[in-house]
Amino acid sequence: MLPMLRSIAFLAALALLILPGAAGAASSPQIVVSIKPVHSLVAGLMQGVGTPHLLVEGEDTPQSVKLNEAKMKLLADADLVIWVGPELEGFLAEAMQNINCRGSKLEMLSVETFKVLPSRSMEGTRDPYLWLDVRNAEVFVDVFHDALKAVDPEHAEIYARNRLRMKAEVAQLDREFEYGFRAIAAGEGWAYHDTQQYFSQSYALQINDFLTKVPGQEADMAKLLTIRNQMAEKGKSCLFVEAGMTRSKLEIMTGLKGLRVAELDSFATRIAPGPKLYEQMMRHNFKAISDCFQAIGAVYTGPKVLAKKPKL
């Protein structure tokens, strides 16, 4: 009887060593990402390993969310925290300085290889909407890959395979936008919030002015009336608003003859999180802009030269 029990114990121990997910197998790292578009790219790199945690969930935006105890614990226990920077996630700025995080922190606005533009409204600050440049996203994939590999070398091969696939997918998206840029460059628009500087530079989108240059803030009446007069002189025009962000007093604009309002979703508030979200969000914004220009009869008269693509 004793030899049989020993054999059973040996087989059980052997099974633990060889079964997928059994004791001894590499566990997935605890990765925390602030916003959906960035989370999507990290999730793509982590396919086959695990799923990163997301701080700004659902239809929230960084301007509306607050840290609770559960999210503070996520940050403290994380192997890696990826966020944009204090210009976007004000709710995170103090926590990132004071929390005793066991892992690494990656502030995207401070990464030298990323294209970071100065803010057009607040002197001495950086424009945080850098994910809206698809060419930036190609570089994000490289940097996120290296960061994941550093905290989780056991899954390095999976990260490397996913990196190659994602680089190809993001490059294809950029090519499609380059070929279709005339639909974006055909017209001139106005925006409630100044969120599209990166996208404008990449694909020749012309935004004439903004109701408020500080995203998340309400427009003042004087600015509203000034832009309303500009649009009235133009005749047919497009006004771009952002899902999840204030559009107070917009009714003053919407009664204007020839005005079309198009909703962008630069935080992907209405898209389910996951590896495909980034592409879906960028396609949504591109289509919303091009559809609006088409609806008002805007015609590309070119040539408008696209910004030169950086060497990767």
Which residue ranges make up each domain of the chain? 31-177, 180-295
278-294 average pLDDT score: 96
259-263 average pLDDT score: 94
Residue 303 pLDDT: 56
Could you list the beta-strand ranges (E) of 47-165: 53-54, 80-83, 104-107
- The CATH number for 31-177, chosen from 3.90.1150.10, 3.40.50.1980, 2.60.450.10, 3.30.460.80, is 3.40.50.1980
What confidence category does residue 83 fall into, taking pLDDT thresholds of 50, 70 and 90?
very high
Q: Which fold has domain 180-295?
A: Rossmann fold (3.40.50)
Assess whether pLDDT exceeds 60 at residue 63.
yes
91-116 average pLDDT score: 91
Could you check whether the bond before residue 303 is cis, i.e. omega within 30 degrees of 0? yes
* Percent above pLDDT 90 for the chain: 64
Sign of CA dihedral 124, 128, 134, 138: positive
The alpha carbon of residue 208 and the mean position of all alpha carbons in its chain are separated, in whole angstroms, by 24
95-113 average pLDDT score: 90
Residue 173 pLDDT: 97
What is 162-187 written as a DSSP string? Answer: HHHHHHHHHHHHHHHHHHTHHHHHT-
What confidence category does residue 298 fall into, taking pLDDT thresholds of 50, 70 and 90?
confident
Q: Cα(70)–Cα(252) distance, rounded to whole angstroms? A: 41
Q: Which token pair is 78?
A: 């994380």
What confidence category does residue 213 fall into, taking pLDDT thresholds of 50, 70 and 90?
confident
Same fold, 31-177 and 180-295: yes
For residues 230 and 141, the model is more confident at 141
For residues 109 and 186, the model is more confident at 109
**Which of 12-16, 21-25, 72-76 is predicted most confidently?**
72-76
Question: Residue 60 carries which side chain, given as an amino acid letter?
Answer: D
State the pTM of this model.
Answer: 0.88
What confidence category does residue 9 fall into, taking pLDDT thresholds of 50, 70 and 90?
very low
From first CA to last CA, the distance across the chain in angstroms is: 67
Q: Which token pair is 255?
A: 């009664």
136-160 average pLDDT score: 98
User: Which residue is listed with tokens 């600015």?
Assistant: 223
37-57 average pLDDT score: 98
